[in-house]
Structure 1
């Protein structure tokens, strides 16, 4: 029998989207962010990310093919999202994951875990040897066994990320180009890949 990805107790201790956002806001008020590393730079990134998430919460419109894929789900699944408040990619993607779950008529439930508090978990889902986030892990609701995974970013963004990384650009330029891609894409690539993933569950 396949092994559960995590225990029911650990899942129960995870954040909902609302409590995840509340945690980030509370830390921001103290001049902090999530995770053990604290710096003004990370706090500034987190402030930007709160703005990104708030904007996306209001503007994400799910694609018709995503609604179609959701309608084919015959049983419930647990969606574990490994994330952090300072992560720019997470800010661009997490609101989309939540919107998909909200549109699933209860078939998908989201549970948010902080990467640096769950290193044993993220270390099962490394990207090119790195602890890249966000990471979505879809589990059978009754067994908590993995059935699918996705992340840390849609394929076109990952390609761009690797190209920019190879150029060894200053971080600000790197970040500006990557977030410029997200702005132009308007969550379409993320949604299309999520639709394909959901279809594999049906």
Structure 2
């Protein structure tokens, strides 16, 4: 496992590099991944607008900021994503906003379809669901925890809907987008804070 993680880290990018990539893909009517369908290209363009909006408007409470800033272990947040992923458009800006608060958190981004060996180590119910955050000890690269592909409340919504209806409909996906907008990233922030190891300097 460790050599797969380290190989992915070598080819990883910063969040700003990822944003630049998505911006360029939008300008050239393209998308990440091997499939360049019109649908995926359109999703990438939509997600570029979503991420741009979240990058500007997302805010944390003073209490949340203080909790993140108090964390004193050096870790890496290695995140698998793709530009066309709707959940990632809402989740990635929040991950970055939290990581920016503390120099001990090193956020690195890789594309799922270029890192399938890594992805297959962190499946969700057998699927290659993204975004997937893998929290690593910065020195040993041991896995400390994971987050994703969705915040806890959204995961519960998805599970409940699947149990009742079997599959996620277009209507449900619209409802999920509305939930993200209403939640304003707060559940993701709480989930990420809960992911951090407990030995912080308070």
Common fold by TM > 0.5: yes
Partner residue in 1 for 2:87 = 89
> Aligned residue for 2:67?
69
Q: Is the 8 A contact 2:12 2:110 kept in 1?
A: yes
Q: 1:163 aligns with which of 145, 160, 163?
A: 160
Q: Give the equivalent residue in structure 2 for 1:32.
A: 30
2:148 equivalent to 1:151: yes
Distance 2:8 2:169 in 1: 38
Contact 1:63/1:191 (<8 A) preserved: no
SS at match of 2:139: coil
Tell me, what secondary structure is at the counterpart of 1:58? Answer: helix
What is the CA distance between 1:169 and its match in structure 2?
5.1
> How far is 1:164 from its partner?
3.5
Q: Secondary structure at the match of 2:196?
A: helix
1:21-64 Cα offsets, whole Å, 9 max, x none, are: 11112222221100011211111111111111001101111233
CA contact (8 A) 1:72 1:199 kept: no
State the Cα distance separating 1:93 from its structure 2 match.
Answer: 0.4
Match of 1:112 in 2: 109
User: 1:4: Cα distance to partner?
Assistant: 5.9
Q: In structure 2, list runs of 5 or more residues that go unmatched.
A: none
Stretches of 4+ aligned residues off by more than 6 angstroms = none
Q: What is the total number of aligned residue pairs between the two structures?
A: 198
CA shift in 2, pair 1:85/1:174, >3 Å: same
Counterparts of 2:129 and 2:186 in 1: how far apart (Å)? 21
Distance 1:131 1:43 in 2: 20
Q: Which residue of 2 aligns with 1:58?
A: 56
Name the CA distance, whole Å, in 2 between partners of 1:125 and 1:65.
31
RMSD: 1.8
Contact 1:76 1:141 in 2 (8 A): yes
What residue in structure 2 maps to residue 6 of structure 1? 5
How far 1:199 sits from its partner (Å)? 4.5
Give the TM-score, by structure 1 length: 0.90
- SS of the residue corresponding to residue 15 of structure 1 reads coil
Q: Distance in 2 between matches of 1:188 and 1:135?
A: 18
TM-score, normalised to structure 2's length? 0.90
Kindly state the Cα deviation for residue 126 of structure 1 after the two structures are TM-superposed: 0.7
C-alpha distance in structure 2 between counterparts of 1:190 and 1:84, whole Å: 18
